[in-house]
Chain A
Amino acid sequence: GESVGLHLPTLSVQEGDNSIINCAYSNSASDYFIWYKQESGKGPQFIIDIRSNMDKRQGQRVTVLLNKTVKHLSLQIAATQPGDSAVYFCAENHYGQNFVFGPGTRLSALP
């Protein structure tokens, strides 16, 4: 079936550096994507979303890039802080269907 995956299962970044988390999706019909952050012992928390009619969307310290040609999206976190340490999931959606979550990437901000 259709699936969403991540290139890197773990990512360690120095505090203050930028983090880039990648996600590949296989359903070319997907038109809506969300990045979630999940801290230990908590449920996923919405970070930012993007629709397929956009290539880039910016939030506070976060940017999501969507490349529909290669079915790839990324989450960029500027000036990574200790509080950014968590597991990050991408989720893709085709209208009328349920979200499919990727396996997640663990981000560790190193002091």
Chain B
Amino acid sequence: EAGVAQSPRYKIIEKRQSVAFWCNPISGHATLYWYQQILGQGPKLLIQFQNNGVVDDSQLPKDRFSAERLKGVDSTLKIQPAKLEDSAVYLCASSFQGLRNEQFFGPGTRLTVL
């Protein structure tokens, strides 16, 4: 079974630039999550989708971050404009159905903002 795919794996940008991350969840998984993991910390949930609808985006900085999951499969996370404190690994995870099902994580995208 193929795992969660993410691209790119690494990205370096300057502050105030924009960046986008892509995630392809495990086939058949209805729930998709984006996490931010700052170096030395545990992952922090940014947004949760159930199919193509947003379940929870309470911790998403909506002035600069946006995410979508068109057609309920792939998802993109965008940052515009980026700040230095956005430097982190952005993890995508998916689960079959809902929060209590096991989440499978992708390898993440490491973002460095200079």
Taking Cβ atoms with an 8 Å cutoff, the residues of A that contact B are: 4, 32, 41-46, 49, 89, 91, 93, 95, 98-99, 101-104
| Alpha-carbon distance A101/B4, docked complex (angstroms) | 20
Contact between chains at A98 and B103 (CB < 8 Å):
no
A-B pairs with beta carbons under 8 A, tally: 43
Beta-carbon contacts under 8 Å, B75-109 to A? 91, 93, 99-100, 102-108
The contact sample of 6 A-B pairs, CB cut-off 8 A, is A41-B107, A43-B93, A49-B102, A89-B42, A101-B43, A102-B42
Q: How far is the CB of B42 from chain A (nearest CB, A)?
A: 3
Query: Number of B residues whose C-beta is below 8 Å from A?
Result: 20
Chain B interface mostly helix, strand, loop or mixed?
loop
Residues of B contacting A95 in the complex (Cβ-Cβ under 8 angstroms): 100
Which A residues touch B107, using CB under 8 A?
41-43
Structural contact, A103 and B42, CB atoms closer than 8 A: yes
A49: B residues at CB distance < 8 A: 102
Q: Is the beta-carbon distance between A44 and B99 smaller than 8 angstroms?
A: no
Question: Within 8 Å CB of A98, what residues of B?
Answer: 45, 48, 56, 99
A43 touches B40 (CB 8 A): no
Bound Cα distance A52, B113 (Å): 41
Question: Complex formed: what's the CA distance from A49 to B100 in Å?
Answer: 10
Residues of B within 8 A of A32 (CB): 100
Chain A residue at minimal CB-CB distance from B58:
A98
CA of A4 to CA of B43, assembled, Å: 12
B43: chain A residues within 8 A (beta carbon): 44, 89, 101
Q: Interface 1/0s, chain B 37-74, versus A by CB < 8 A? A: 00011111100100000001000000000000000000
